[in-house]
Structure 1
Amino acid sequence: MAKDTTIASIESLSIAWSPQDSPWRQSAFVKVTTADGTIGYGEASPMNGGHHSLQIINDMAALLVGCDMFDQAVHYDRLLHKFIKLGPEGAVTGALAAIDIALWDAKGKVLGLPIYKMLGGAWRTEIPFYASIGGNAERSADDVVRVVKARLKSEAPAAIKIRWDGDRSRQDVDIPGDIAKAKAVRDLVGHGFPLAFDANNQYSVGGAIRVGRALEDLGYIWFEEPVQHYNVRAMGEVAQRLDITVSAAEQTYTPQALVDIINAGVRMVQPDIIKMGGITGLMQCAAICFAHGVELVPHQTQPVIGHLANLHVLATLMHQTKPAEYADSSGRMDVGFANPPKPQDGKFTLPSGPGLGLEVRETELKKRLR
């Protein structure tokens, strides 16, 4: 008997994993249920707790209930253009991402297939990761070394990225100190270990070139978002004047904007699956990158739903040039899932179950609703 794949309900879920979580620390999930009871889960960007995307999801839900979930591409474009005057960048594409991932999850469960199979198959189901370590703008060089050493010991990652996460309204605050921290980490890991440096948009063009040349001497493999993300011309200038690979596009939300940053001269791009349209959006990015000969190394900081969705896409890419990002290793979200993804020997193994392959503990999520 054929299943009824009509969308029966779409629920936006604001999850606080701890009673102490501030609104900005919460997760933004979406739950899609079909008429036959199939359930799919997705996730929106957690910026400001994802509350803006959740409100838009509530508005989008009214337009999707009663529709067939397999008309997903039509729904995607219709919703984007219905809400386009709200952005379309940021909260709108985050809302679309959550719904899109949930629909892919539900479709996989109906068909009995993991998402990577529905996307055409996996080149690999074991995916190496890099440990993404934030908060280094305020740390001393010794403290940066301490936190890097701890992640190396606990996770055995394939690479390390040190992030600054500082005040984006200030530029070139402590260039000698930043270079000293980069050198201290290189001294810790030795010259053969892959390292990356994420400036989080904190340099002027001149400052970025100065830091980038130091990173080249230290053997770092990429330099992420050295200048403000919205200054596409400046990002391209830095990329073209340095030998180190300059990456950007974590804060790029549409395929058209991705083409603009590639045309500016950036040759490694990092769109985020839960910021710019979900699995459908990231697959569009993959096609663009393939056509332009550009590396696709998606940004991704959320450790469960967003992380698994990202891994399903990465599994399908023929040329996976860099490891996947793994930022939050705290395990604080694990309580909500029976089989949260866990790193082992520097890599993640994709689950073979249908959809995302994730078993959600709905009772635990309900306890944490806000």
Structure 2
Amino acid sequence: MTGLVHYLSPHAVGTVDVALWDIAGKAAGLPVHRLLGTCRDRIPAYFSSAHHATAAEYADEAVYWREQGWRGYKVHAPRGPWLPPGSAPPVAFDVAACAAVRSAVGDGMTLMLDSVWSYDYPQALTVGQAIQDLGYFWYEDPLPDHDIHGYQRLARKLSIPLLATEITPGGLTALPPWITAGATDFLRGDVVIKGGITGLLKIAHLAEAFGMNCEVHDSYNSLNNVAARHVMMAIDNCDWLEVLAFNRSGDHSLAHFSYGLTEPFRVDPEGNVHAPAGPGLGAGIDWDLINSSVTAVVS
């Protein structure tokens, strides 16, 4: 399938790859991370925010998760290339939100900013300089995903680490130019659009060879997030598990992280998510829920 990537969606490759690893783990009676080579049994989670209308809403959300024992929080700037032109606030809002969060949680919480590919270069430089002064841990996707040159320019001007390559087309083979150009400080990957567990593992090993982290992105649904967690337990160059909720202000539910599964998603009081323990992916499927949604069966 990988040899047919010009004709197949990478989502199809990733889906089949995850299923095959699940089968292999169940056949061996071992969790997938044991087949990959377990190096740890837990990883800290960070909360990845929705788009909020005020700086105070970001700050309140970050405080809530800090009080639950979580050690990281990421601001999603209220913008995106999918929004109508002119609908986002000025970039000064993003800086104000980042400052409000830092003021609210203090220096003990790790903070990140994801600007969802939405700045031009001058905007990206202005915001980057501001958040590096605020002690943010990384600066994610400030420029369009194809703009390697712009990321090189930012890297020369900023000391805060850049995190790009989330949606670069081509999987593993698209990433060496970003490394050799010095256009990103971390690589990004997931099990959905980067070729499944196999693809994500290759990206993590590529990053390791260059002394870089591979920070794993949210994998779009509950079962894929379980699959990604297996990879995280088998690599030591990923520091965080992303919990991407996109909840409205004041909504702290994480129920969608368990949707379709029999076991709830859990973060321990120290803010860690633990390795799956069962064979294969180790996730029970809620077939009652799935079957209740069936509208027709075609034979």
TM-score by length of 1: 0.72
1:1-370 to 2 correspondences below 5 Å: 79-85=1-7, 92-120=9-37, 122-136=38-52, 139-153=53-67, 155-168=68-81, 170=85, 174-253=90-169, 254-265=171-182, 266-302=184-220, 304-320=222-238, 322-328=239-245, 329-332=253-256, 334=258, 336-345=260-269, 346-369=271-294
**CA shift for structure 1 position 150:** 3.1
Q: Name which one, 1 or 2, has greater alpha-carbon Rg.
A: 1
The one-letter amino acid of 1:234's match is G
> Counterparts of 1:196 and 1:369 in 2: how far apart (Å)?
40
- Look up the SS of the partner of 1:336 in the other structure: coil
Tell whether the 8 Å contact from 1:337 to 1:360 is kept in structure 2 after alignment.
Answer: yes
Could you tell me whether the CA contact under 8 Å between 1:131 and 1:161 is conserved in 2?
A: yes
How big is the shift at 1:165?
Answer: 4.9
**What is the distance in 2 between the residues matched to 1:326 and 1:297?**
13
Distance 2:256 2:234 in 1: 29
Cα distance in 2 for partners of 1:229, 1:150 equals 32
Q: Secondary structure at the match of 1:365?
A: helix
Root-mean-square deviation (CA, aligned residues, Å) is 2.0
1:240 shift after superposition: 3.0
Structure 2 residues not aligned, in runs of 5+? 246-252
CA 1:119–1:166: 2 relative to 1, 3 Å? same
| Residues in 2 aligned to 1:81 and 1:133: alpha-carbon distance in whole angstroms | 37
> Which one has more relative contact order, counting CA pairs under 8 Å at least 6 apart?
2
The alignment covers a number of residue pairs equal to 282
Counterpart in the other structure of 1:56? none
What is the CA deviation profile of residues 266-319 of structure 1, one whole-angstrom value per residue up to 9, with x for unaligned ones? 111212221111100001101211112221111115352121111111111133
* Cα shift readout 1:133-192 (whole Å, capped 9, x = no counterpart): 1213xx111222223233334x42221111125232758951222111110000000023
Letter matched to residue 271 of structure 1: G
Contact 2:80 2:117 in 1 (8 A): no
Deviations 1:4-52 (A, max 9, x none): xxxxxxxxxxxxxxxxxxxxxxxxxxxxxxxxxxxxxxxxxxxxxxxxx
Q: TM-score, normalised by structure 2?
A: 0.88
